[in-house]
């Protein structure tokens, strides 16, 4: 229960007593501890009856202006309490909505984190198989001139991402000539994304050879372009 609601409830622990009058006008029934619409309506009707009685000079006993004033004060006090309780209830509902929203947000975050962990586990388990299968396929593609190489995706935050989907995008390595045509910056980015060990002061030919070996494409000692399956995890 909010502080405002506790204060409003405390203010109505002892209900207000309708004031009596000199005109013998019937006093409303004792209202509820927490004022209702009927209580407010009865208070207004009581004031109307007092006013009518005051204006009837033929009656032996008539209500006075003081009676009406006390009745007005009585009604006003109940209206104040009613408004305070309304505000307190609205505050309580707002706090509950905020609490539920925080809970839903935490649940969504927890579920998303769980899904991300599951995806990462699946990717980690399938990546070695994916590397081997990609290299095996590329073996039969030769130089890639007639049948393009299969694309080996990167693993970024537990997700498989194609090289052309990152920013800035990298060219897809679909053939031997495309690999040889990489500029130095894109070559280094490929090595870094694949987790291939290299030093920036390595010669370009060494970097290209390691990238080709990772993809299952190597150059033999005579310089001819060939495809070869290498063991997963060499680099």
Is residue 193 included in any domain, yes or no?
Answer: yes
CA distances from 188 to 146, 181, 192, 194 (A): 27, 13, 6, 10
144 within domain boundaries: no
Q: Is residue 172 part of a domain?
A: yes
Quickly count helices (H) and strands (E) in the chain. 6, 4
Stretch (H or E) spanning 65 = helix 65-139
Within a domain: residue 83?
no
Domains contained in the chain, number: 1
Would residue 176 count as lying in a domain?
yes
CB atoms within 10 A of CB 64: 15
97 falls within a domain: no
Domain assignment of residue 94, yes or no: no
Q: Tens digit of pLDDT for each residue in 6-30?
A: 554 445 444 567 787 777 778 777 7
Question: In terms of pTM, does the model score above 0.75?
Answer: no
Which CA distances in Å does 214 have to 10, 31, 113, 181, 200?
76, 86, 31, 17, 18
Q: Which residues of the chain have pLDDT under 50?
A: 1, 5, 8-10, 12-14, 219, 221-235
pLDDT at position 178, please? 93
Range of the domain at 185: 154-215
For residue 182, tell me if it sits in a domain: yes
């Amino acid at each position: 229960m909010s502080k405002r609601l506790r204060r409003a409830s405390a203010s109505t622990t002892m209900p207000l007593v309708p004031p009596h009058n000199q005109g013998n006008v019937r006093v409303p029934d004792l209202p509820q501890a927490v004022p209702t619409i009927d209580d407010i309506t009865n208070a207004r009707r009581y004031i109307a009856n007092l006013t009518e009685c005051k204006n009837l000079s033929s009656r032996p006993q008539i209500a006075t202006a003081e009676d009406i004033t006390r009745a007005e004060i009585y009604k006003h006090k109940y209206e104040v309490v009613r408004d305070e309780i309304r505000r307190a209830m609205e505050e309580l509902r707002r706090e509950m909505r905020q609490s539920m929203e925080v809970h839903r947000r935490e649940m969504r975050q927890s579920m998303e984190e769980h899904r991300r962990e599951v995806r990462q586990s699946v990717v980690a388990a399938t990546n070695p198989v994916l590397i081997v299968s990609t290299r095996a396929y590329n073996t039969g593609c030769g130089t890639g001139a007639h049948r393009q190489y299969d694309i080996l995706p990167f693993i970024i935050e537990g997700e498989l991402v194609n090289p052309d989907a990152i920013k800035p995008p990298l060219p897809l390595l679909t053939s031997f000539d495309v690999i040889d045509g990489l500029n130095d910056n894109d070559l280094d980015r490929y090595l870094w994304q694949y987790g291939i060990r290299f030093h920036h002061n390595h010669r370009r030919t060494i970097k290209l050879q390691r990238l080709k070996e990772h993809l299952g494409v190597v150059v033999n000692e005579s310089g001819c372009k060939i495809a070869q399956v290498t063991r997963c995890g060499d680099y």
